[in-house]
């Protein structure tokens, strides 16, 4: 019997229909290929176009730009079902919830009309390139440079840990347009990956998220139109990033809570079916108490997450609230999944078991989107 999850306060009949569509898509197009994608370190490119055909891309982008016309709630449903399906290969959270919204919020009107419909069909896959080999959370320290040359920018630099890097058709690149201006010298520029001088490096071999195409990207005199600058003028990139990061962190929280719930379901099934000393593992007090605690952790996290989603839908989720959501849910999912692995015993360490893959996958949640330590720093500034 699966974990009893109270229906979210923001849910509607329409969203539940989307949930069913998302679940069907995951089971048909994602679940059967996990092992192969993990070996190849990337999923099949046609997953994107198939998702576009059934209407799962650009869900929260207005219809006038080819999107679904929905809200963050539509995105949350999709991400929850992906996490519950045990898939970590498809970088749809970055494509839908992050890159498309940078374009929607900051691109010139003609660029929105050119690019966003391609995001909705899967013709374009989106990526965002912030992290560099020598720069992680401190984005003021990036070295990638964009120099204005007439009606173009010439970009030089390197990025790493880029989700969707192998398949990306459009990358939002954090650059320094004024290397002496600190945070005020950072700009965001969109680069189409068929531009001369752009090249992809390795698809990186990660501890978890094995099927996700996380890559190195290189920019060697990449010349792009000045119209690809996001925002009305240079130097707005850092502020743009800060304005978009709350949604990114909330997305991570959504997947963390759904991942927690999925891990508990897997463990409930396993401990009720497997026996030790002549009785089901679930019948032992330690198992029951561990899972009781895990279920409580998940319920509390779910209640806080739902509150944050409601605030975000009203435009009221602030930087501190998003940081709290990311910090709490990612720390909790790591503890819960680790406890679940313990109840599987040796099988919990075998990658053929979904719980082992989940254990490796969730570890990054305390790092990307801003580390737990950075979240604490952000929260402490408001105290």
Known catalytic residues are: 248
Contact 120, 104 (CB under 8 A): no
- In Å, how far from its chain's centre is CA 80? 11
- Per-residue b or e along 287-319, where b marks 16 or more CB atoms closer than 10 Å to that residue's CB: beebbeebbebbbebbebbbebbebbeeeebeb
Q: Name 354's bridge partners.
A: none
Report the distance separating Cα 346 and Cα 293, nearest Å: 22
Contact 341, 355 (CB under 8 A): yes
> Which letter does DSSP use for residue 132 in this model?
B
Helix/strand/coil percentages in the chain, nearest 5: 55, 15, 30
The tokens of 378 are what?
């952000």
Pairing of strands 152-162, 145-149: antiparallel
- Per-residue b or e along 64-89, where b marks 16 or more CB atoms closer than 10 Å to that residue's CB: ebbbbebebbbbbbbbbbbbbbbbbb
Question: Rounded to 5 degrees, what angle do the CA atoms 350, 356, 360 make?
Answer: 125
Distance spanning both ends of the chain, measured CA to CA: 42
Report the distance separating Cα 344 and Cα 350, nearest Å: 10
Report the distance separating Cα 221 and Cα 155, nearest Å: 5
Give me the DSSP letters along 17-86: HHHHHHHHHIIIIIGGGHHHHHHHTS--THHHHHHHHHT-SSTTS-GGGTS----HHHHHHHHHHHHHTT
Report the distance separating Cα 262 and Cα 96, nearest Å: 22
């Amino acid at each position: 019997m699966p974990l009893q999850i109270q229906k979210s306060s923001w849910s509607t009949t329409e969203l539940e229909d989307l949930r069913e569509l998302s679940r069907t898509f995951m089971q048909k197009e994602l679940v059967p290929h996990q092992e192969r994608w993990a070996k190849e370190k990337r999923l099949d490119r046609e997953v994107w176009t198939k998702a576009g055909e059934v209407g799962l891309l650009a869900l929260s982008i207005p219809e006038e730009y080819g999107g679904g016309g929905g809200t963050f709630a539509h995105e949350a449903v999709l991400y929850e079902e992906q996490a519950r399906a045990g898939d970590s290969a498809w970088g749809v959270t970055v494509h839908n919830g992050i890159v498309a919204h940078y374009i929607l919020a900051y691109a010139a009107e003609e660029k929105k009309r050119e690019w966003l419909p391609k995001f909705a069909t899967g013709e374009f896959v989106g990526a965002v390139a912030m992290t560099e080999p020598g720069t992680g959370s401190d984005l003021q320290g990036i070295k990638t440079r964009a120099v204005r040359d007439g009606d173009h920018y010439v970009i030089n630099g390197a990025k790493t840990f880029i989700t969707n890097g192998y398949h990306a058709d459009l990358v939002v690149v954090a650059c320094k347009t004024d290397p002496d201006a600190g945070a005020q010298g950072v700009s965001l520029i969109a680069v189409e990956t068929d531009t001369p001088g752009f090249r992809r490096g390795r698809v990186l071999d990660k501890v978890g998220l094995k099927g996700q195409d996380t890559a190195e990207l290189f920019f060697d005199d990449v010349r792009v139109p000045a119209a690809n600058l996001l925002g009305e003028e240079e130097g707005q990139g850092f502020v743009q990033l800060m304005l978009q990061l709350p949604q990114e962190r909330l997305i991570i929280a959504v997947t963390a809570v759904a991942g927690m719930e999925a891990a508990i379901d897997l463990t409930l099934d396993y401990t009720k079916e497997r026996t030790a000393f002549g009785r089901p593992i679930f019948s032992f007090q330690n198992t029951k108490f561990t899972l009781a605690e895990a279920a409580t952790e998940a319920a509390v996290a779910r209640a806080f997450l739902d509150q944050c989603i409601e605030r975000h839908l009203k435009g009221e989720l602030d930087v501190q609230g998003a940081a709290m959501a990311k910090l709490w849910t990612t720390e909790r999912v790591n503890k819960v999944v680790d406890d679940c692995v313990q109840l599987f015993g040796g099988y919990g360490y075998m990658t053929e078991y979904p719980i082992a893959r989940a254990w490796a996958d969730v570890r990054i949640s305390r790092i990307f989107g801003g580390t737990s330590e950075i979240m604490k720093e952000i929260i402490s500034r408001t105290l």
